Chains A and B, each alone.
Chain A
């Protein structure tokens, strides 16, 4: 020891002193008060809201303007398979079979139905992230990159997501995809950047027939509350206990 110019006792002593010097500020930092957020500090108070969306199947005409508007508003890649919202066409046949298709999310229109003679019923179903109150995607995220905001919107932190795709597998509604350029999970945000400005999501803004209704859950004076009072409401896959906040009216039991 002595040939190195320092003995063990002195080395350990120095090390403890150095650790305390480095750790002191850290200890102080740990008791810092949670800083006021920009979102919370302005006129917009996220904790005062709990958003949900209503979708009336009987009004959807399958024009897919919502899909186009969503892609424009949120810079979703234009190629197929990347959708925050999309339109499915259900064709129920007299023999009990159900055909579901969604060519390019409905953006290019829907082709003719094959063997129209045995069609019992056919309709469009707009799909999007259900912004579950009990979201499985948030549970499985290993880093806390996907989360439920105080206003009940399930969001993805682009700069923190590691692209592991767990959430994409966990979502029972297929509402997530891996963004091909950013290589992070992406999904519907309820157009959060519009909500904080007092606007409705782009898909709701452009829906020509009023099939999409936006508002708040558990508040009486909001379009969604009226929609829910006047319609029989169902949600997708209620058995999974995800507590979705996309409320469907006139939903056929065959819709999955």
Chain B
């Protein structure tokens, strides 16, 4: 054997050993097990914590509310859209509660009018549609329905009913202010419903409550004497925003 061959073999062996050592040190564990990547990364990514528990998790405890939701118009709306991510609450129900948001802004995220939204999706103009009143005053968030006028009134008084439906008085049924005897329907002209005849009637809501609430407050003694309230304010559509 020529003298250079063993030397060459030795050098090749050293190079191969160095290569193997470098591979061992530089290529991470599990690299190439499944493809040209670290297979252990799958486990790391899969082990991330979840934040949204999913509506089935909510229904396990809150079955009654969920049954109402799946039967109503919000059947496709997951609990955690409005109540926020609740995986922590699902894991430890007593440790903390998901938020309950009552402000208009939450509903308007979906229901504010936007021309880009699909035709037919229920939308409102937030400035003219009962501004300042929380949506849940009229609409049940778990099974929302458009507010309905009593059929027995709207058949004849539809114009008033529609006007009232978009006013600050939308939530008040007709019977809050009017008493309609049963015979009014048979003989509407001779048997009339009652109307409020005293300032104190409106004052029941608009006077004597703390200032700063949703309902505007006035001092009955000094405001607008000696007139009846409805002589200046139209009760089916009282002034918006003032």
Write the residues of chain A forming the contact surface with B, with a CB cutoff of 8 angstroms: 12, 15-16, 19-20, 22-23, 26-27, 29-30, 34-35, 37-39, 44, 46, 58-65, 69, 72-74, 89-91, 109-110, 113, 116, 119, 122-124, 144-150, 155, 157-160, 189, 191-194, 196-197, 199-200, 202, 205-210
Contacts and interface: CB of A to CB of B under 8 A. Distances in A.
A26 B50 contact: no
B34 interface: yes
B21 interface: yes
Interface in B98-127: 109-110, 112, 114-118, 121
B230 interface: no
Contacts of A149: 34, 42
Interface in B3-23: 7, 10, 13-14, 16-18, 20-21, 23
A-B pairs, top 9 by smallest CB distance, nearest first, are A19-B17, A147-B37, A157-B41, A193-B48, A23-B17, A26-B20, A38-B43, A34-B33, A122-B116
B167 to A, nearest CB: 26
B116 to A, nearest CB: 4
Contacts of A72: 51-52, 84-85
B45 A192 contact: yes
A27 B80 contact: no
Nearest to B27: A144
B235 to A, nearest CB: 34
A91 B116 CA distance: 8
B28 A160 contact: yes
Contacts of B94: none
A58 B118 contact: yes
B37 A61 contact: no
Contacts of A23: 16-17, 20-21
B50 A110 contact: no
A15 to B, nearest CB: 6
Interface residues of B, number: 53
Given A15-B10, A39-B43, 14 more contacts: A16-B13, A37-B33, A61-B121, A62-B114, A63-B109, A69-B80, A72-B52, A144-B36, A144-B38, A147-B37, A159-B41, A189-B45, A193-B45, A207-B76
Contacts, number: 164
B30 interface: yes
B13 A109 contact: no
B81 A65 contact: yes
Contacts of B14: 15-16, 19
Contact of A192 (B38, B46, B121): B46
Interface residues of A: mostly helix, strand, loop or mixed?
mixed
A160 B118 contact: no
12 contacts: A16-B13, A37-B40, A113-B115, A144-B36, A145-B37, A148-B35, A149-B34, A149-B42, A189-B45, A191-B50, A193-B47, A196-B46
A239 to B, nearest CB: 27
Contact of A206 (B7, B17, B80): B80
Contact of B117 (A22, A39, A62, A158): A62
A160 B13 contact: no
B48 to A, nearest CB: 4
Interface string B54-97: 11000000000000000000101110110011000000000000
Contacts of A20: 13, 17
B210 interface: no
A209 B17 contact: no
A208 B77 contact: yes
Contacts of B30: 35, 37
A26 B23 contact: yes
A207 B52 CA distance: 13
Nearest to B7: A12
Given A15-B10, A19-B13, A23-B20, A209 B76 contact: yes
Nearest to A194: B50
B34 to A, nearest CB: 6
B44 interface: yes
A59 B119 CA distance: 9
A22 B17 contact: yes
A187 to B, nearest CB: 12
Nearest to A91: B116
Nearest to B56: A199
